Amino acid sequence: MTNGTAMAQRAKKNFVEAEAASEHPALRDFSQPWIDLNDKTVLVTGGTGSFGNHFVKTVLSHYKPKRLIIFSRDELKQYEMQQRFPQEEHPCMRFFIGDVRDRDRLDLAMANVDYVVHGAALKQVPAAEYNPFECIRTNVLGAENIVYAALRRNVQKVIALSTDKAANPVNLYGASKLASDKIFVAANNLSGADGTKFAVVRYGNVVGSRGSVVPFFKKLVESGAELPITDARMTRFWITLTQGVNLVLSSMEMSKGGEIFVPKIPSTTITGLASLLGPQQPQKIVGIRPGEKLHETMIPADDSHWTLDVGDRYVILASFAAALREAYLNRGAKPVAEGFSYSSDNNPEQLDARGLQHLLAEAYA
């Protein structure tokens, strides 16, 4: 047994046998402030993914929108989504084939749209490293196209989905999302006081989403295979799909333009997650993959000067947004300490076995 694997097995033993006397951190629902989407037109790019499906389900169950537009390039996934949300039952649903690389198509799709949720992206780290031109065209130039189309069509608000990998990026995917974040924040300089408001929501790993480690581990557990652990010390932020959708909706209502919203969500070790999903499964250290971090960061220390605590989330403001900062402070926001950083290893909300079990139960409810 290698030293790394022995370390993983010790970490697993400690996690499984840990006392669960401490209360697990409460999972915030991020539902406030509540936005009113009744009789509004909403467009979701990349809307056939895990987030898009849950977003549509949430909106249809709480509102009566005028139109709910799914904009994506995969006709098969759109067909499958139409079966889940048939137009006979949901006459507001619309499905547009299109690519965020195509500015003209975006311009047509955004006609009379009130709100845009931008979720389309190339997200696989290895694929982005191997296909850098494609990653840039979708994640960076696609963001630019969203901005131009939204400004031209006088969309009220745009919320772009980001990732913890955009903070101090070490891979192209993260770097492209950092560039995207900068584009959306700076777009508010183009829209003026009464134009489109652009903001960003940044969060960590979504439990159970397509490509998540949770279904991957579950599949390995079912087959009786070893669970690959990159490093026994590795930690990650976790959020459920429901939390993610609520965060987007409430941040859209809260946004004045130019914010990066960062939720307060718990962290855990990858070893702890594997131990809970497969307590009897052997774990094997396979080493950190190229472009991967030991711990993820959502707010770097260099951004502490511009970061405010607004209760259930942090807000990173642009350095030039002095008036916006003052407005948040007047509403009760508090500046974070100088040098503050928010990373998965220094997160005060670390999940033990009991807390992680609660998180998974919420995610798969």
Q: List, by residue number, the catalytic residues.
A: 165
Whether the CA torsion 293, 296, 298, 301 is positive or negative: it is: negative
What's the CA gap between 115 and 66, in Å, rounded?
12
Q: In degrees rounded to 5, what are phi and psi of residue 217?
A: -65, -40
Among the listed residues 45, 199, 206, the one whose alpha carbon sits nearest the alpha carbon of residue 120? 45
Output the CA–CA distances (angstroms, integers) from residue 335 to 84, 250, 320, in the order listed. 44, 21, 16
What's the CA gap between 149 and 151, in Å, rounded?
5
Q: What is the 3-state secondary structure (H, E, C) of 202-256?
A: EECEECCCCCCHHHHHHHHHHHCCCEEECCCCCEEEEECHHHHHHHHHHHHHHCC
Angle of helix 241-254 versus helix 50-62 axis, rounded to 10: 60
* Bridge partners (DSSP) listed for residue 327: none
Among the listed residues 231, 227, 348, 214, the one whose alpha carbon sits nearest the alpha carbon of residue 292? 231
